Amino acid sequence: MSIDDVQPPTLLPLLSRGRHGNRRKGACFMELASLLAGERWSDHPACTHPLLAAVARHVNDYTTDAGRQRLAVLIPSVIGLTSDDLHVDARIALRCATTALPVVSAQRQRAMAVAVLAADQVLAGLDGRPAGALEEHSAQTLAGAPHAARWADGFTGELSLTPDAFRRRSAQSIVSCAIKGIAQACIPDPDTVLHDLLIGAIDDCRARAVRGVGQEAEGVTVPETMTLWRPTGPAEPLLSQQRR
């Protein structure tokens, strides 16, 4: 069955935190994506780039109950976005780090400054750019946190990342730390920052990703007024459960 043949159900689960055994218990962002894509129910569906899916899961989990339903209309945008290009991982990681660095608490800024340098270094290697020549946005973001930037520069002086290690470990950690830091930052509206971060990550992935055959997301539409049903089961302690 192609994605063009899939139509959203009349009633969809209300977005809620964490993993759910089935849609009667609710759904997170990526579980609804798996449903609309016609895949087996999962928060790690094959229809979406793994790091983009990680961004979606973390944004879903760290957005407040009041703001989470705004995310639902973005679900069709991630269906079919897949790629083996390491640029995608590096771009998404860099976006998360540069978004987080200006707003996270002081104790998290060092980690985010290291993340900016690491992701920028990976992109430099992919694009044949000298490692010390930062992209303009990376340089500007680091300039806004000079103490963290100086510490990170010393820390990463001997840093050497293999593409596989960056993809499997570093990028995932950057996404997780950045989104948690934004959610807990002392800023007026972290929900909007997270919402816009997810949109940006989708755009980063779309710029490089190739939609699989029969995986055209344009065939699925979820209007802003779609009906969501509330799960009848007891609420799960979802943020305390670690996602795999």
The answer, yes or no, to whether residue 13 has pLDDT greater than 70, is yes
84 residue type, one letter: D
Query: Which backbone phi and psi does 162 adopt, to 5 degrees?
Result: -80, 150
The confidence score (pLDDT) of residue 203 equals 96
Looking at per-residue pLDDT, the higher value among 174 and 12 belongs to 174
- Assign 231 a pLDDT band (cuts: 50, 70, 90): very low
Query: 146-171 pLDDT, tens per residue?
Result: 999 999 998 887 667 788 899 999 99
Looking at per-residue pLDDT, the higher value among 109 and 211 belongs to 109
The confidence score (pLDDT) of residue 234 equals 30
Query: 30-85 pLDDT, tens per residue?
Result: 999 999 999 999 999 999 999 999 999 999 999 999 999 999 999 999 999 999 99
* CB hemisphere CA count around 223 (13 angstroms): 6
Whole-angstrom Cα distance, residue 177 to residue 179?
Answer: 6
Whole-angstrom Cα distance, residue 238 to residue 224?
Answer: 25
Residue 21, token pair as written in the block:
């055994």
Rounded to an integer, what is the distance from CA 148 to the centroid of its chain? 24
The confidence score (pLDDT) of residue 21 equals 67
- Assign 239 a pLDDT band (cuts: 50, 70, 90): very low
The confidence score (pLDDT) of residue 26 equals 77
Query: 77-135 pLDDT, tens per residue?
Result: 999 999 999 999 999 999 999 999 999 999 999 999 999 999 999 999 999 998 789 99
